[in-house]
Structure 1
Amino acid sequence: MSDSLDAAMAALDAYMDGLNRGDEAAVNAACNFPHVRLAGGKVAVWHDRGDYRLDDFRARAGEGWARSQWDERTPIHVGADKVHLKVAFSRYKADGTLIGRFETIYIVTRQDGRWGIQARSSFAS
């Protein structure tokens, strides 16, 4: 099962790297679709690769967002084709000021042989 966990962690790394570079295609490539996000009392669904827009992320990331980082990535369940992770991440302004730290559950799946983030339930806005 460690191969599944390694693959899930690689998907999380690819997502965060793409996000911090402002690379929308890389962020979409790190996800599996349909992709679901539960946060702020709302459910968002992106049905197809390419539907996830960084402009939407930036609108909710916080004033002056410049980058994010993982603070915790703890496996909850690890299976052959799906991994549940308890994660925490922080968002920062360019000057290093913390915008906020958020706890989230990520579900990373393998679809057609490729691993990607499928769903998130977050306390982030």
Structure 2
Amino acid sequence: MSSMVASEPNTVAVSAALGVLDEHFRALNARDASALAQTLHFPHYRMGLDGMKIWETPDTYLYDFFARAGDGWARSEFLFRNIVAASAEKVHLDVAFIRYNEAAQTMGAFRSLWVITSKNGEWAAEMRSSFAA
């Protein structure tokens, strides 16, 4: 049986996945719903503390984020992004991030697992599992 994941992660895939994360957080912090949607494959899956949420389309994604993040959320930034495994068309990442309020105070730090895939040559996040609300 051959392994689907090389002993050395695919550098092209890893670079693409990290680019998706960078653009996702940039678009989120800019409150740019259109750019944010480009960082996600739809349907998009997120397992959070309240179970599985599936977005069939990007229509409510940003609004739903604001509801989860809570009043006063201003921005989020990475603590770290670690590659767990990578193949030519899929990358698993262990991600930690901080949410800040408008006074630049920490609202919380969270871990999540991201699965970023290439579909028809387009890299985007297909699913996440998060300990954040």
- Which TM-score bucket, shorter chain as reference? over 0.9
Query: Any conservation in 2 of the 1:38–1:122 contact (CA below 8 Å)?
Result: yes
Counterparts of 1:107 and 1:51 in 2: how far apart (Å)?
A: 21
Q: How far 1:52 moved relative to its partner?
A: 4.2
Unaligned runs of 5+ in 2: 1-9
Q: Partner letter of residue 112 of structure 1?
A: N
**Moved beyond 6 Å, runs of 4+:** none
SS at match of 1:108: strand
SS at match of 2:35: helix
Q: How far 1:53 moved relative to its partner?
A: 2.5
Unaligned runs of 5+ in 1: none
Mapped pair 1:38 → 2:47: yes
Counterparts of 2:62 and 2:13 in 1: how far apart (Å)?
A: 27
Deviations 1:70-89 (A, max 9, x none): 11100000100000000001
Counterparts of 1:24 and 1:41 in 2: how far apart (Å)?
A: 23
RMSD between aligned residues? 1.0
Q: Partner letter of residue 80 of structure 1?
A: A
Q: Partner letter of residue 102 of structure 2?
A: A
SS at match of 2:95: strand
Deviations 1:35-90 (A, max 9, x none): 10000131011123x23431211111023000000111000001000000000011
Partner residue, 2:5: none
Partner residue, 2:12: 3
- The percentage of counterpart residues that share the same residue type is 38
Partner residue, 1:12: 21
Counterparts of 1:52 and 1:73 in 2: how far apart (Å)?
A: 26
Mapped pair 1:103 → 2:127: no
Mapped pair 1:89 → 2:97: yes
Mapped pair 1:73 → 2:72: no
Query: Any conservation in 1 of the 2:97–2:111 contact (CA below 8 Å)?
Result: yes
Partner residue, 1:62: 70
Based on CA coordinates, which of the two structures has the bigger radius of gyration?
Answer: 2
Q: Partner letter of residue 99 of structure 2?
A: R
Counterparts of 1:106 and 1:70 in 2: how far apart (Å)?
A: 13
Counterparts of 1:82 and 1:39 in 2: how far apart (Å)?
A: 21
**How many residue pairs align between the two structures?**
124
